[in-house]
């Protein structure tokens, strides 16, 4: 790694506590420090319940830590306004959720067009009309008129990937 490179994401001393139903405090993240550099591919591993999803939600600006600093693309997440956080999340962060993330009452095509509209983009910069071509890359073009409940498990996973 180039030592002069600036991290895309930098976490220092992140902490997150949850209050459990019995009133006890559960510290899920404690003193989490790391940097991720441009082009790096990073995996977070740990047993179920160890805090991976909590960490991802914080890194994805969907949750705030109780302590610590988080810098994403040079911006300090703690001091950003909600709208600046929304803007960064919408423009620069993609999430492939573990659970289904498609809207049940919309077809796959409507789901994807909704995301395009929210993000103000075509897929990979392509015009919106190329949706079936983009879906075709994941072998989903014939499923565009289907509702999420009509997709197979594998199709659903690929649709979630497209959405992300
Ligand atoms: N919103 C919440 N309120 C209370 N406890 C939570 C909440 N979210 C997660 N937890 C608890 O925090 C711990 C870590 O959860 P999570 O980050 O989802 O773990 P992982 O993704 O590694 O399986 C678990 O014990 C979970 O029960
Ligand atoms: Mg999880």
Q: What is the pLDDT of residues 119-134, one digit of tens each?
A: 776 655 555 567 888 8
Atom of ligand 1 nearest to the CA of 55: 17
Closest CA to 56 of 70, 76, 67, 37: 70
Does 32 contact ligand 1 (Cβ within 6 A)? no
Q: How does DSSP assign 71-124, residue by residue?
A: EETTEETTTS-HHHHHHHHHHH-----SS--S-TTS-HHHHHHHHHHHHT--GG
CA of 48 to the centre of ligand 2 (A): 7
Give the ligand whose atoms come closest to the C-alpha of residue 97. 2
- Name the one residue in this structure whose structure tokens are 């994807």: 112
Q: What is the CATH number of domain 9-91?
A: 3.40.50.300
pLDDT in tens, 23-74: 999 999 999 999 999 999 999 999 999 999 999 999 999 999 999 999 999 8
Residues of the chain with CATH 3.40.50.300: 9-91
Question: Could you tell me the distance, in angstroms and rounded to a whole number, from the CA of residue 17 to the centre of ligand 1?
Answer: 10
Give dist(CA 4, CA 16) in Å, integer.
31
- Does the pTM surpass 0.85? The reply is no
Please check the confidence at residue 16 and state whether its pLDDT lies above 80: yes
- pLDDT at residue 96 greater than cutoff 70: yes
């Amino acid at each position: 790694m180039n030592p002069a490179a600036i991290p895309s994401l930098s976490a220092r001393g992140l902490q997150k506590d949850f209050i459990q139903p019995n009133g006890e405090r559960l510290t899920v993240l404690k003193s989490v420090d790391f940097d991720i550099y441009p082009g790096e591919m990073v995996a977070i591993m740990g047993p179920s319940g160890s805090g991976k999803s909590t960490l991802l939600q914080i890194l994805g600006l969907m949750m705030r830590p109780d302590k610590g600093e988080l810098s994403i693309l040079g911006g300090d997440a703690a001091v950003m306004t909600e709208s600046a956080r929304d803007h960064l999340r919408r423009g620069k962060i993609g999430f492939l959720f573990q659970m289904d993330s498609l809207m049940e009452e919309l077809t796959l095509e409507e789901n994807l067009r909704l995301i395009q509209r929210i993000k103000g983009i075509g897929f990979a910069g392509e015009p919106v009309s190329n949706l079936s071509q983009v879906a075709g890359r994941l072998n989903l073009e014939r499923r565009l008129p289907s509702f999420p409940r009509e997709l197979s498990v594998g199709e659903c996973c690929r649709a979630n990937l497209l959405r992300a």
